[in-house]
Homo-oligomer: A and B are copies of this chain.
Amino acid sequence: MAESTEVKLLGLWPSTYALRARIALNIKQVNYAFLEENLGAKSELLLKSNPVHMKVPVLLHGDKPICESLIIVQYIDDVWTSGPSMPPSHPYDRAIARFWAAYIDEKWGPTTKAIDAVIVAGEGEEAKKAAVDKVYDILVLLEEAFKKCSKGKAFFGGDRMGYLDMAFGSCLGWLRFREKLHDIKLLDPAKTPQLVKWAERFCEHPAVVGVMPETEQLATIEYGKGLIAKVRGANPSKW
């Protein structure tokens, strides 16, 4: 079943969530077709495959659609069973990885986007600092989580990249875009030294190289351009 069935991924290259699925497929060395969606004119295949949310990513395994990025990662791990399991194999470690992945899905997007909102609303430097501090609060928790989960090794998953690595690592492209956009350092060696080094390792991993979007690429898409225009206001040339 796993090997002989055609695999397609409906996604968008700048999507944090599609990236998780791509990295998981790369780790398992699964051949797949990446079908780039157009959010302005979603494909019939996307609408049919994810009628509830109509969102990417969708993994198509033969004619079976699987939706939601972390569910896709677990599915990939369940079906292509070679190599170590992506959620840790010990039940407690697995529960902890799931806890932090859920935490990231709940907190990361709104908290980082809140920086954009504060700047766009012209709320000033103090409000910007408060918004950035909320991101640091998350990162400090993740630094502690990294220490516990990695047990002194390279990744949240230990020696090998795992579920939580993918859950958070997929956010690094937009994190770096926002660092440049707002002229701030979110991953700061003084605050979260281990996460800084982990992020470098993550981006250099063979499963990640070539699929992680670069800051300059994100600045070319409509959403990125729109953010730059709104944040930089009359002075977009500063970008």
Contact = CB atoms under 8 A, between A and B. Distances in A.
Contacts of A61: 92
Nearest to A97: B71
A72 B98 CA distance: 10
Interface in A77-121: 78-79, 91-92, 94-95, 98-99, 102-103
Question: How many copies altogether?
Answer: 2
Tell me if A's interface is mostly helix, strand, loop or mixed: helix
Interface residues of A, number: 21
B68 A102 contact: yes
Given A52-B103, A52-B141, A141-B52, A91 B68 contact: no
A222 to B, nearest CB: 26
Interface of A: 52, 61, 64, 66-68, 71-72, 74-75, 78-79, 91-92, 94-95, 98-99, 102-103, 141
